[in-house]
């Protein structure tokens, strides 16, 4: 079949699925399309690449600025209690304040200031999501819409447009699958979005009993997502993303199983953490590196595809700016590559570890501030498991997934990165997050009752004979 015809068929299929999704889930506001477009940009390539096939940074900065302005307009019109929101997120605001101040000791001041617009737009878009009337549903809808477009489009580019959907591998290996992204690892992270969105959709389908049409679409996306995760069985698999999806799904189902005993969840989680710590100490006692043990489970070498050499370099060079770091976006400059070890010969643009990336750019102070954000978000989500279970479960699972991912991939705090934005969406705590699942379920029930009433009125009112009072 001609590639152009396949691409047109893909767009038609995606449009049809969007229509189906809207009919089944008409509740989120139209404004939610703003952060949806943003997460689609974060999960794919720059606007310049799609327009002109290069990374000249002409249109992408304009897109970022327009989204920032539109997001601020939306937030200004919502009339939210910003004093309360700021009070609920002091640690995150402190981290962002330090992020902005750090450009003043950067060796590339102008470049760092320009880069700042991206993480700040991430924050504004995340605020748009969490200030929706139903934040849990807004988060799930945004993730689902991202997957609806980018997953089938990635498959089409890989199969029919290899010059766009594949990247030449090093050492004469098989070409890497990249789909709509820039590398196999971002493609795996995009597949993670789809995997988690499908998990939530499966729960909804199981509870509501959907039409066969929706079930067919669901299983089609399951097949496409598994296809991307497998990556042709070659070297394009992202082991980190596969592991994170497995952990996220298991944790999501475990928390669902514990729902009736929500007060005991925190103790169970502490017990699991203690067991993991004991297992780590045992491995060290017998002379085995925990990193090597986990890598072996995924068929990787102990250096995690030479990441260990890179990490040693980042620590060594980062100590030169131990306390404050090099300044936001200022560590990976051209001069740094001549100082890397011979084993690190692929001109990396990031540390492949979010905690080391934060250390390199923001120093020990930045790590402390990030740690406060993480601890506060985990504490908030655990508290919600006892009060408002579904939003707490969603937040806690995504937080854990992002924390694990950042051991081998750097998403902290990289602007327009898919999982930095995803982290912000669940790290932000607002009183709207405290809207109970009972309230959301009641709203959904009211909507369903209204739809049922419309259907009844369309068929004719039922028999309403008076029943005498007894």
Q: What are the φ and ψ backbone dihedral angles of 397, each rounded to 5 degrees?
A: -60, -45
What mean pLDDT comes out for the span 180-203? 92
Residues 6+ positions from 100 with CB-CB distance below 8 Å: 116, 120, 328
pLDDT tens digits, one per residue of 271-316: 877 887 787 777 666 666 667 767 676 677 777 778 889 999 999 9
Examine residue 346 and state whether it is found in any structural domain, yes or no.
yes
What pLDDT is recorded for position 445?
42
Q: 176 - beta bridge partners?
A: 167
**Residues 6 or more apart from 421 whose CB is under 8 A from it?**
38, 39, 42, 122, 125, 126
459 part of a folded domain: no
Structure tokens at 172: 């004469």
How large a percentage of the chain has pLDDT more than 90? 57
Nearest 5°: phi and psi at 59?
A: -90, -30
Question: Mean pLDDT, to the nearest integer, of 253-281?
Answer: 80
**Angular region, 68: left φ>0, alpha ψ -120 to 50, beta rest:** alpha
Is 62 within the bounds of a domain?
no
**Residue 176: enclosing H or E segment and its boundaries?**
strand 176-177
pTM over 0.85: yes
Q: How far apart are CA 291 and CA 302, in angstroms?
A: 7
Average pLDDT over residues 195-224: 83
Q: Is the predicted pLDDT of residue 343 greater than 90, yes or no?
A: no
| Residue 420 pLDDT | 96
Cα separation, 35 vs 135, in Å, equals: 13
The pLDDT score that the predictor gives to residue 244 is 94
Burial of 351 (0-12, 13-18, 19+ CB in 10 A): buried
Q: Is residue 468 classed exposed, middle or buried when 0-12, 13-18 and 19+ CB atoms within 10 A define those classes?
A: exposed
Q: How many CB atoms lie within 10 A of CB 99?
A: 25
**Structural domain contains residue 340:** yes
**Quick one: average pLDDT of 371-388?**
91
Q: Which residues contact 158 (CB under 8 A, 6 or more apart)?
A: 165, 166, 177, 178, 179
Lowest mean pLDDT among 51-60, 166-175, 374-383: 166-175
With respect to residue 61, please indicate whether it lies within any of the assigned structural domains: no
Q: What six digits make up the tokens of 121?
A: 């737009």
Confidence (pLDDT) at 175: 76
Q: What is the pLDDT of residue 311?
A: 93
Spatial distance between the Cα atoms of 97 and 99, rounded to a whole number of angstroms: 5
Is 160 inside a domain boundary?
no
Beta partners for residue 177, in sequence order? 166
The pLDDT value given to residue 468? 35
User: Phi/psi class of residue 238: alpha, beta or left (left: φ > 0; alpha: ψ in -120 to 50)?
Assistant: beta
Q: Taking 70 as the threshold, does the pLDDT of residue 15 lie above it? A: yes
- Using the 8-state DSSP alphabet, how is residue 341 labeled? -
Nearest Cα neighbor of 92 from 363, 318, 311, 373 is 373
- pLDDT at residue 459, as a whole number: 43
Read off the tokens for 338.
């001549």
Q: What is the domain extent for residue 433?
A: 82-106+239-440
Model pLDDT, residue 204: 77
Q: Could you tell me if residue 190 is inside a domain?
A: no
Taking only the tens place, the pLDDT of each residue in 58-88 is: 899 999 999 999 999 999 998 777 788 888 8
The pLDDT, as a whole number, for residue 427 is: 95
Total domains present in the chain: 1
Q: Any idea of the CA torsion for 157, 163, 167, 171, to the nearest 10 degrees?
A: 140
Would 394 be classed as within a structural domain? yes
């Amino acid at each position: 079949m001609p590639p152009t015809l396949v691409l047109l068929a893909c767009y038609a299929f995606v449009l049809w699925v969007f229509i189906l999704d809207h009919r089944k889930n008409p509740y989120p506001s139209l404004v939610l399309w703003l952060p949806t477009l943003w997460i689609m940009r974060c999960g794919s390539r720059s606007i310049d690449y799609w327009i002109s096939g290069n990374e000249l940074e002409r249109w992408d900065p304009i897109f970022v600025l327009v989204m920032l302005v539109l997001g601020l307009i939306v937030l200004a019109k919502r009339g939210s209690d910003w004093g309360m929101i700021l009070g609920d997120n002091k640690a995150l605001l402190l981290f962002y304040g330090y992020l902005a101040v750090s450009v003043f000791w950067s060796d590339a001041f102008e470049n760092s200031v320009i880069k700042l617009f991206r993480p700040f737009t991430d924050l504004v878009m995340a605020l748009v999501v969490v200030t929706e009337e139903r934040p849990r549903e807004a988060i799930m809808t945004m993730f689902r819409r991202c997957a609806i477009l980018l997953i089938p489009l990635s498959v089409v580019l890989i199969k029919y447009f290899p010059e766009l959907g594949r990247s030449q591998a090093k050492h004469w290996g098989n070409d890497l699958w990249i789909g709509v992204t820039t590398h196999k690892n971002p493609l795996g992270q995009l597949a993670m979005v789809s995997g988690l969105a499908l998990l939530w959709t499966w729960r909804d389908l199981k509870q509501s009993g959907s039409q066969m049409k929706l079930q067919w679409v669901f299983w089609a996306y399951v097949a496409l997502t598994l296809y991307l995760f497998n990556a042709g069985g070659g070297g394009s698999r992202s082991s980190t993303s596969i592991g994170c999806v497995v952990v996220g799904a298991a944790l999501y189902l475990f928390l669902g199983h514990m729902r009736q005993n929500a007060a005991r969840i925190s103790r169970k989680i502490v017990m699991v953490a203690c067991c993991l710590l004991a297992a780590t100490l045992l491995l060290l006692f017998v002379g085995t590196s925990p990193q090597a043990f986990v890598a072996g489970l995924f068929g990787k070498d102990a250096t995690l595809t030479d990441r260990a050499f890179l990490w040693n370099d980042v620590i060594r060079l980062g100590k030169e700016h131990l306390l404050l770091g090099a300044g936001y976006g200022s560590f990976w400059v051209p001069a740094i590559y001549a100082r890397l070890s011979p084993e690190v010969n692929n001109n990396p643009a990031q540390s492949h570890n979010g905690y080391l990336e934060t250390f390199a750019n923001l120093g020990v102070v930045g790590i402390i501030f990030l740690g406060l954000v993480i601890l506060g978000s985990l504490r908030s989500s655990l508290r919600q498991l006892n009060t408002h279970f579904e939003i707490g479960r969603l937040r806690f699972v995504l937080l854990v997934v992002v924390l694990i991912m950042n051991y081998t991939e750097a998403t902290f705090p990289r602007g327009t990165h898919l999982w930095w934005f995803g982290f912000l969406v669940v790290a932000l705590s607002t009183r709207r997050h405290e809207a109970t699942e009972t309230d959301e379920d009641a709203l959904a029930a009211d909507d369903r009752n209204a739809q049922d009433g419309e259907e009844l009125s369309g068929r004719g009112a039922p028999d309403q004979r008076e029943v005498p009072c007894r």
